[in-house]
Structure 1
């Protein structure tokens, strides 16, 4: 089985090189990977669950790095055992090239051989499964290295109405009639004496609307009668 390809990764070449040698990054990127452990300066051990067609198995593999050229690339060689499902062995050349500032082009050339029951499934199924796993690996690998999206800053000058917009979640202040009148007078800069005169005039107008002799009796009579009724109510309530 031969497979070649390339991927454009939005990250500096040094960072891509470090990620390719980081067991935690590899474990997160390899489909079905259960663990990746470094066993030496240039060697790893991994455990991966693989499903090919109707068959599935867990592979335990050992990988050795050679021809290491940081941060340009290296050669991978290894072998994995999947029990009754068979085995896989082979190698791959991986190269990193700086395509642009902050952009790396990763190319790979894989040569592998499978045996056991896997080989009986047919080369087309094995090749398509391997390509699918490779695509998933590079998608996850590139996403892990991609910088987080930057939200555009809100331009206040471009939106002059921003200062007049109510802030979401801010408490709403409810004012009574007296508070509203007081705020309006303060905003207009009215002197204290003018506000007092205005209040006195409003009270005088209110008194003018009251009849002088309701039902033919003086207003003093009605005020005294109301006071007497109030006193009697208190006596009945608390007596």
Structure 2
């Protein structure tokens, strides 16, 4: 399967032109010819089958053969807010794997103990795009710009809200608290964990304290564990 990400495609159109970069890959690298079929995803849930009409190396013209809407639409909505890791490659790893497993939205949160307070969202989005192509997903997760934790905590969210932390407080597991087929927001802190004050603010804003097991996990591992558990608990 030759899969291309085409976020600007119009689902109502019968033709589409690949941009110069994708045209070059299609014609020069893959050596596809007129009549060959490829697949397209737009990041909005549409999966297209298209045939090459004109194999131009700078502006390949396609004829849309069929569209499958809501391709592999998931039965829940998962938003993970994670503090960017000091080693950016660990965050990149999380984004890649979480996209492959299934996630809808990611927020980068700046906490009191954050060792990294900025991230290049454009580069990170490219990693997400590569992951949806690799895992054949038609939905592109939303990646938000870095935001202060207290601002995100106070933002309205219509769903279940959790904060995973390492303090010795009473905590719940996702298996105990998760309501299937819902919307979820999970906070994952920096390497030094959330401060007691940050935890208190989250709890005062209707977040529930969450445990992800007895092991002390790295930030990106904890986030991926939460992603896996939510997807597993929503399997039908």
Q: What's the TM-score, normalizing by structure 1?
A: 0.20
Higher Cα Rg, which structure:
1
Higher helix share: 1
Q: What's the TM-score, normalizing by structure 2?
A: 0.20
Higher strand share: 1
